[in-house]
Amino acid sequence: MEMAEYSIRMANKENKADVLQGTLDLMVLQTLESLGALHGYAIAARLEQASAGALQLNMGTLYPGLMRLEQGGLIRGAWGVTDSNRRARYYADLQDELRAQLELATEDERRRTDSADGARRAALVRAGGTGEAVNAMHDQRAFRPVEELLQDVRYGLRTLRRSPVFTAVVVLSLALGTGANAAIFQLMNAVRLQSLPVDRPGELVSIGIDRHGQGRVGRGVHGRSIHTEPIWLALRAEQQAFTSLFAWGSSSWDLSTSGEYRPARGFYVSGNFFDALGVQPQAGRLLSEADDQKGCGSAAAVLSDGFWQSRYAADPAVVGRPIMLDRRPFEIIGVAPPGFFGVEVGRTFDVVIPMCAEPLVRGTDAGTGVPRFWWLDIMGRLKPGWTVERAAAHLAAISPGVFNATVSATYNAEQAASFKTFTFTATAAQTGVSNLRTDYATHLWVLLGATGLVLLITCANLANLMLARATAREREIAVRLAIGASRWRLVRQMVSESLLIAALGAIGGGLLTLAE
């Protein structure tokens, strides 16, 4: 790179003369000292004027010298606006600031010693000499690190713009690698890691049944049909470990009044479902114990935020209107808050109705009061001071009484004996419950490991590309070292370029993740 050579062209092209680099620096310093802050074009014009037209300067000649003087601490630069309302970088001599500080220091010494000459010498000694004072002033500028960082970023952008193929390959590779990993991690986070959007999720416990390898007896519906309604009632009456115990069962209904089938997903829930979870309504109110009384006639319904937005355009006046479920009217009493999907990961709802409405909707196929119809899931909130292990021991202790009291009369002797050996279990449910975790846990971990390996291979390939590019830039680095750049400054520049590439790749990966 020939930028290190400050060439000054003579106006007469037949008579060219080279001016020493230090001479141009001195002329620039003298100009700034006499005229104050100027931008680059004004400095060049002043030098041409002072030489009576003998010198002609362009910014390719002058700019490297200005940058070297600024980095050397002899001048300072700051962006400003010219008289023609254009943005330009202004340069000023640091000697002005030095003289002002020396005058203040001299005045201070004069008050102490009553000697003008002695005060001047003492001020210079305290400053450590003129050259050291300039360097100290330059190093102590508050915004120098920020300015140098911005310089590194701008230079990195220019370098990447000059190598579009390299930039495209590197950024796209990083974007694809990070985007794939981010997408898989989002899935893992939703299925296994993310806490439920409810109040104090760490207190929630899922209650299951250990069947000791005997298998379930009776009939179940789709979803997590773990308990029967008689088991739910008996357990609620016997347990002492939970401040509240609630149950739900999944279902779907037809929204149409006639004609084509329009499905709506939802849950039958116990009356304390929302209260136990600490969920607050977005509009209207949520179900309560009063809405879940045995034999309820005209039952209430709660809508999810997504269903309210898509079907009713978020109209708050929907509260109080009827909604048809399997050709039966239910009064809409409220809307659940945004982000609340229930407690079952991987299953959302459109409508929630109380468990007392299940016989009304299903008729003769209802599971309410049927000991051999498995259709409910149960969860509880621990009492203060109780742990999951203590709750599990308590549930195991009351299991024989509950299962002996709820055995179905339709079981044969073998089925009844097996049923009476069942034991309740307790599992922490901070992240909810889901069949996806048991069905696809291995697949998800393998997928996450594969995408991580792809990202590792991508990083290795990019490291090779960066090394090859650094080798191709040896001449540039040598020139920068020759004109006074420190090794630390070069390392910082390379790190800045690498971080810039990483940031662009991360942004691309984030955009890909959002688009999926």
Q: What is the pLDDT along the chain (516 residues), one digit of tens a residue?
A: 333 333 333 333 333 333 445 567 777 777 777 777 787 778 888 777 777 666 666 656 677 777 777 776 667 777 777 777 777 777 776 655 556 565 666 677 667 766 666 665 565 555 444 444 444 444 544 456 777 778 788 888 888 888 888 888 888 888 888 888 888 877 777 777 677 889 999 999 999 998 887 766 655 555 566 899 999 999 999 999 999 999 999 999 999 887 788 899 999 999 999 999 999 999 999 999 999 988 786 689 999 999 999 999 999 999 999 999 998 999 999 999 999 999 988 788 999 999 999 998 988 888 898 998 899 999 999 999 999 999 999 999 999 999 999 999 988 988 899 999 999 999 999 888 877 666 676 777 788 788 888 888 888 888 888 888 888 788 878 877 776 677 887 888 888 888 888 888 888 888 877 765
Classified as helix, coil or strand, 375 is: strand
Q: CA–CA separation, 353 vs 387, rounded Å?
A: 31
Question: Angle CA(302)–CA(308)–CA(312) in degrees, nearest 5?
Answer: 120
Q: Are 57 and 47 in contact (CB under 8 A)?
A: yes
Q: The pTM is what?
A: 0.60
Neighbours of 11 (CB within 10 A): 12
Classified as helix, coil or strand, 208 is: strand
Chain length of the chain: 516
Q: CA–CA separation, 282 vs 279, rounded Å?
A: 10
Residue 374's H or E segment, with its range, is strand 373-382
Distance of alpha carbon 199 from the chain centroid: 23
Q: CA–CA separation, 174 vs 172, rounded Å?
A: 5
Packing angle of the helix pair 94-113, 21-35 (nearest 10 deg):
60
Strands 373-382 and 219-220, how do they pair? parallel
Candidates 6, 2, 10; CA nearest to 59 is 6
Candidates 184, 111, 97; CA nearest to 440 is 184
Q: CA–CA separation, 481 vs 56, rounded Å?
A: 28
Candidates 53, 6, 54, 13; CA nearest to 28 is 6
Neighbours of 506 (CB within 10 A): 16
